[in-house]
Homo-oligomer: A and B are copies of this chain.
């Protein structure tokens, strides 16, 4: 398992190892003849450059840390896929960490990535407190926050206009005739989710609807959490004709609970999600939802990060993407009285 080094090549080629280094790095200060000869020997010996050694002297690793709450979550894995692709195209590789939606673990992972000398970090934070928590390390390494809208925070982020997302969602439901819409699984610990709830609230106000919230105290939005919350909700008696779920995963959980409780969607109640994860498009699910442009957000995040890495003068920038209404089959028009 002994690896071939630059010195081994030098010995065979009968040159100094500096020359080998130059041949490999495509330096101009070398004769084309020697270069070709050395390159050939390198190939023959099965040489692979040691990126660790290179990083040590170059003081850059060409590594981007990707820190997500859980890669096993359709939203994050879509983001991860596109981040990987964009990064690779720009010559960067990914170091992947899960925070499991846990702020301590998130901090641990962040520090670890710093120690690993990643050139930058893309972070899908687990909540609104991530920023304060990570603040001490934030000028150690360029960081871009994704998805979690941290509003006026002085750090780069890319997110969707969450407020607008729920706003247009409510307008859509309103246009279908719904006058009593519940906002489901509001998570106050996340700024993103605060904004979504607020967009919902503001739209309700503008349309003279009475807002109604079902709060979630869970740290994340999962099918399981949506299910649990919905089960309780369906057991009670409420006056509403539509549910606006804070996330598609929540909506999927609601779908599950509805099925079990004999609530038909969209016949009995309309359901609108947020995120547009790939599974929402399945015809059996067929969930109308608000799309977050994940591909775009991922590549923008990578670009922002690289820009920040290369331009130390740049402090931070915020990019807010446009959400889009995706109409499928989970919302039904209701007759007006």
Q: What residues of chain A have their CB less than 8 Å away from a CB belonging to chain B?
A: 1, 3, 46, 48-53, 55-56, 61, 63, 66, 70-74, 77-78, 80-82, 84-85, 88, 93-98, 111-112, 114-117, 136, 139-141, 223, 252, 255-256, 259-260, 278-279, 282-285, 312
Contacts and interface: CB of A to CB of B under 8 A. Distances in A.
A49 B61 CA distance: 15
A212 to B, nearest CB: 25
Contact of A95 (B80, B96, B255, B278): B96
A72 B61 contact: no
A282 B71 contact: no
A95 B94 contact: yes
Contacts of A255: 282-284
B259 A283 contact: yes
B98 A96 contact: no
Given A117-B52, A282-B252, A285-B282, A80 B71 contact: yes
Contact of A52 (B1, B55, B98, B312): B55
A175 to B, nearest CB: 26
Nearest to A112: B93
A252 B98 CA distance: 28
A116 B117 CA distance: 13
A94 to B, nearest CB: 5
A116 B51 contact: yes
A1 B74 contact: no
Given A283-B259, A284-B285, A84 B56 contact: no
* Shortest Cβ-Cβ A-B pairs, 7 listed: A72-B81, A77-B77, A96-B96, A259-B283, A284-B284, A51-B116, A94-B96
